[in-house]
Amino acid sequence: MDGNNQINLNVVHTANPQVGKQNEVNNIDVFNELKRRLDITRRARIKASTRLREKHEFYELTSYVYSLAVLILSVWVIGISGDSSDSTTKMLLIASLSLTFFTMFLGIKNYKERASNIESNYQQLNVLINKMQRLEADPERITQSVLKELHRDYEKLIVGNENHLPIDFMMCSSDNEAKFKDEIKKL
């Protein structure tokens, strides 16, 4: 075998503070750690996307109900005459303005677009996972240069997008849900 087709067994030594000995980490270990991090990130992004979509749907429904209430009250007030009409008109004006500001707030938060961006990101993470799974079938191809390229691809996907919240990480797997059960209850 020539040097390009051999498994790169360059060893990185890391100190283990618990034992005081050195552990050897080869390319396969680095590959598996990257794959684990990639999977956790992807799962957390899926949770983040779902959370943002649910917020969007909730606020959208709230906005519709509030708009309907203001509309019904406006039509109802048209038939009322007298002194109480002025105070009712002022109330409706306040309700209409608050509805306008609420709608502007939702536009600024942009939950739906943020969810779409995160979905696109976790789909790109899926592509990277698939690439890693193909490499896993032929471990001899896992070299330092391939690992560097995979890390660069992962970092590009992470840096260029909105990050998920800690709650998304805590709920991305049943193991994490059990591990962070107390913290999840607090949120």
Higher pLDDT, 16 or 64: 64
Q: What would the two tokens of residue 92 be?
A: 């409706």
pLDDT in tens, 79-97: 766 556 677 788 888 989 9
Burial string for 114-124 (b: 16+ CB within 10 Å, else e) reads bbebbbebbeb
- 71 in a structural domain: no
In a domain, 83, yes or no: no
* Per-residue model confidence (pLDDT) at position 184: 64
> What separation in angstroms does the CA of 152 have from each of 8, 33, 76, 127, 145?
19, 15, 62, 14, 11
Q: What is the pLDDT of residues 15-34, one digit of tens each?
A: 444 444 445 678 899 999 99
Asked if residue 73 is part of any domain, the answer here is: no
Strands (E), the chain: 12-15, 22-25
- Residue 20: both structure tokens together: 């005081």
- CA nearest 52: which of 167, 181, 183? 167
Q: Does 53 map to a domain?
A: yes
Residue 2: its pLDDT value, please? 41
**Residue 11 reports pLDDT greater than 50:** no
pLDDT the model gives residue 10: 40
pLDDT score of 183: 74
The answer to whether residue 59 sits within a structural domain is yes
**CB neighbour list of residue 166: distance below 8 Å, 6 or more residues apart:** 183
Residue 101, domain member (yes or no): no
- The per-residue pLDDT for range 122-180, each reduced to its tens digit, is 999 999 999 999 998 988 889 999 999 999 999 999 897 887 877 777 877 777 767 77
pLDDT at 61 over 90: yes
Note whether residue 133 is domain-resident.
yes
Q: What's the pLDDT tens digit per position in 97-127?
A: 999 999 999 889 999 999 999 999 999 999 9
Range of the domain at 38: 28-65+110-186
The number of distinct structural domains making up the chain is 1
Rounded distance between C-alpha atoms, residue 142 and residue 159, angstroms:
24
Q: Quick check: is 181 in a domain?
A: yes
